[in-house]
């Protein structure tokens, strides 16, 4: 009898070309996504006088460096302008399809590629960006790679990898009202730690996962890398099929129906064994936010900050002290008393139409107490949001509505948080200076960011949603 396999094993095995004695496997890749950060890889290709092996399977997008405000005037910064133009040159020279700055489909790579139907179940996908794990939400085996690996993939459409260990995270039960994938992800990372999944590929399962929308699943898989995992995946189901049907690059007609049958069959065998299993009760998840300088330093909104003097593990106590010092917070302070100077809604984690609707539901008819920026995940998301009138809700509340790009998540494109300012951000990392030198970041969901905008502090969004349509 054949050995029971996980969905992760099945995709790996179908892409394995050969295995070396040291255990590394050469894998065939179905998609390679490139952006401005991939220019170094193109440079290595040029230095070797080589060509891109499969330009038809390589797709470029301008996202990290693109300006999200004043785009009609181009990039004001010469370095930023150079990075964008160099990507255009590199992709053009090699016949790679580019969703560039002037393309109506432009957006963040981890938003646009699923949106276009380029990310499909069963595919093996890489990109020079750690949050490539996002695409696992659609049943793809997707992971981030380094600059030298980008060059190797460009020239060979293959990559050497060591088979990861397997972890299954099962979320039993249903999430409570106003609890979403961001709250779930922050809770998981806080529980298992930023190294809790190191060396593992995660499969998410359980009732709460099945009940998540595809956009919620994209958020969850996006943040899985912050727990140390190589990638994360959710087996395809009818929601996956519904999301992909009619997408530009997805199969059409009878071909789609045949593909859908194969996708739905792509699941973990009942007797398959994982190296580690984690089970969480969905009813234990609360609206959450980070308080420190690591995604694992997160707590429910109604909790209090830890006191390092009461932590017996000295290494952990020192980490808490360092975080409190940088964030200018006091031990024992209530989470919902932490003041916020501005908010940011955007990034590859939380900038899809569902995210914008969630924030707008909180803000409608109300006025923000602090400034904020809302950056949609793609220009198509922007168009849809404007058709639904969400942009008017944001601007009438006092927030700024911008074009699409990585924006304030990375602080490399002109959108930054001022030194010493505290930002409630829907992004994925709260490292020191992530949103700008000296910036202090609190990771939250879009609804929680909207709540902070209204009150000027971290705030439980649930009372603000009472009596409002979900």
The tens digit of pLDDT for each residue in 302-353 reads 999 999 999 999 999 999 999 999 999 999 999 999 999 999 999 999 999 9
Read off the pLDDT band of 469 (50, 70, 90). Answer: low
The tens digit of pLDDT for each residue in 270-295 reads 999 999 999 999 999 999 999 999 99
Q: Which two tokens stand for residue 114?
A: 């699923």
Q: Distance between the two ends of the chain, CA-based, in angstroms? A: 49
Q: What angle do CA 184, 114, 132 make, to 5 degrees?
A: 60
Asked whether the predicted pLDDT for residue 72 surpasses 70, the reply is: no
The tens digit of pLDDT for each residue in 136-149 reads 999 999 999 999 99
Residue whose C-alpha is closest to residue 52's, from 98, 89, 95: 95
Q: What confidence score (pLDDT) does residue 470 get?
A: 59
Distances (CA, A) of 122 to 7, 12, 136, 362, 363: 9, 9, 9, 37, 39
Asked whether the predicted pLDDT for residue 401 surpasses 70, the reply is: yes
Q: Are the C-beta atoms of residues 141 and 123 closer than 8 Å to each other?
A: yes
Cut 0.85: pTM above it: yes
Number of Cβ within a 10 Å radius of residue 82: 14
Read off the pLDDT band of 451 (50, 70, 90). Answer: very high
In the block, tokens 């009150």 appear at 455
Asked whether the predicted pLDDT for residue 399 surpasses 80, the reply is: yes
Whole-angstrom Cα distance, residue 68 to residue 87?
A: 18
Read off the pLDDT band of 74 (50, 70, 90). Answer: low
The tens digit of pLDDT for each residue in 361-394 reads 999 999 999 999 999 999 999 999 999 999 999 9
Mean pLDDT of the residues in the chain: 96
Asked whether the predicted pLDDT for residue 355 surpasses 90, the reply is: yes
Q: What confidence score (pLDDT) does residue 256 get?
A: 98
Q: Are the C-beta atoms of residues 434 and 441 closer than 8 Å to each other?
A: yes
The tens digit of pLDDT for each residue in 57-67 reads 999 999 999 98
Q: Which two tokens stand for residue 221?
A: 């898989």
Whole-angstrom Cα distance, residue 305 to residue 333?
A: 5
The tens digit of pLDDT for each residue in 105-156 reads 999 999 999 999 999 999 999 999 999 999 999 999 999 999 999 999 999 9
Read off the pLDDT band of 80 (50, 70, 90). Answer: confident
Q: What confidence score (pLDDT) does residue 381 get?
A: 98
Domains of the chain, first to last: 7-276 (3.30.499.10), 288-460 (3.30.499.10)
Asked whether the predicted pLDDT for residue 188 surpasses 80, the reply is: yes
In the block, tokens 């991939």 appear at 38
| Poorest-pLDDT segment among 80-89, 135-144, 152-161, 210-219 | 80-89
Whole-angstrom Cα distance, residue 321 to residue 314?
A: 10
What average pLDDT score do residues 174-201 get? Answer: 97
Asked whether the predicted pLDDT for residue 225 surpasses 80, the reply is: yes
Q: Are the C-beta atoms of residues 97 and 60 closer than 8 Å to each other?
A: yes
Asked whether the predicted pLDDT for residue 22 surpasses 90, the reply is: yes
Distinct helix (H) and strand (E) counts, the chain: 16, 19
Q: Where are the alpha helices (DSSP H) in 159-252?
A: 181-192, 207-211, 214-223, 238-244
């Amino acid at each position: 009898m054949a050995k029971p396999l996980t969905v992760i094993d099945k995709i790996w095995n179908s892409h394995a070309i050969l295995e070396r004695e040291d255990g590394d496997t050469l894998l065939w890749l179905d998609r390679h996504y490139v952006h401005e950060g991939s220019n170094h890889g193109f440079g290595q290709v040029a230095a070797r006088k080589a060509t891109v092996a499969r330009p038809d399977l390589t797709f470029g997008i301008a996202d990290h460096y693109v300006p999200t405000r004043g785009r009609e005037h181009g990039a004001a910064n010469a370095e930023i302008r150079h990075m964008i133009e160099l990507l255009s040159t590199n992709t053009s020279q090699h016949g790679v399809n580019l969703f560039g700055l002037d393309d109506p489909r432009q957006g963040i790579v981890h938003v646009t590629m699923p949106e276009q139907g380029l990310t499909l179940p069963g595919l093996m996908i890489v990109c020079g960006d750690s949050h490539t794990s996002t695409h696992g939400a659609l049943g793809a085996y997707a992971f981030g790679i380094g600059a030298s690996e980008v060059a190797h993939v460009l020239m060979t459409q293959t990559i050497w990898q060591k088979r990861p260990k397997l972890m299954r995270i099962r979320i039993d039960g249903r999430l409570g009202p106003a609890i979403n994938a961001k709250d779930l992800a922050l809770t998981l990372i806080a529980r298992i730690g930023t190294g809790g999944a190191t060396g593992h590929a995660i499969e998410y399962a359980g009732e709460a996962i099945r009940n998540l929308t595809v956009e919620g699943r994209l958020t969850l898989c996006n943040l899985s890398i912050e727990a140390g995992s190589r990638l994360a995946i959710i087996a395809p189901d009818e929601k996956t099929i519904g999301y992909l049907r009619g997408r530009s690059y997805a199969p059409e007609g009878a071909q789609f129906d045949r593909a859908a049958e194969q996708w739905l069959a792509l699941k973990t065998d009942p007797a398959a064994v994982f190296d580690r299993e984690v089970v969480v009760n969905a009813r234990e998840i609360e609206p959450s936010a980070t308080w420190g300088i690591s995604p694992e330093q997160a707590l429910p909104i109604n909790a209090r900050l830890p006191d390092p003097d009461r932590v017996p593990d000295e290494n952990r106590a020192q980490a808490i002290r360092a975080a409190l010092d940088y964030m200018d917070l006091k031990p024992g302070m209530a989470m919902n008393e932490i003041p916020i100077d501005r908010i940011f809604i955007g990034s590859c984690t939380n900038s899809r139409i569902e995210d914008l609707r969630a924030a707008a539901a909180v803000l409608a008819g109300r006025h923000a107490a602090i400034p904020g920026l809302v950056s949609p995940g793609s220009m198509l998301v922007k168009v849809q949001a404007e058709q639904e009138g969400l942009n008017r809700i944001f601007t009438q509340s006092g927030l700024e509505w911008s074009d699409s790009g990585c924006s304030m998540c990375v602080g490399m494109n002109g959108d930054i948080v001022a030194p010493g300012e505290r930002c409630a951000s829907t992004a994925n990392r709260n490292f020191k200076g992530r949103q700008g030198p000296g910036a202090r970041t609190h990771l939250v969901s879009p609804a929680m960011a909207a709540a902070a905008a209204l009150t000027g502090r971290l705030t439980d969004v649930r009372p603000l949603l009472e009596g409002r349509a979900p």
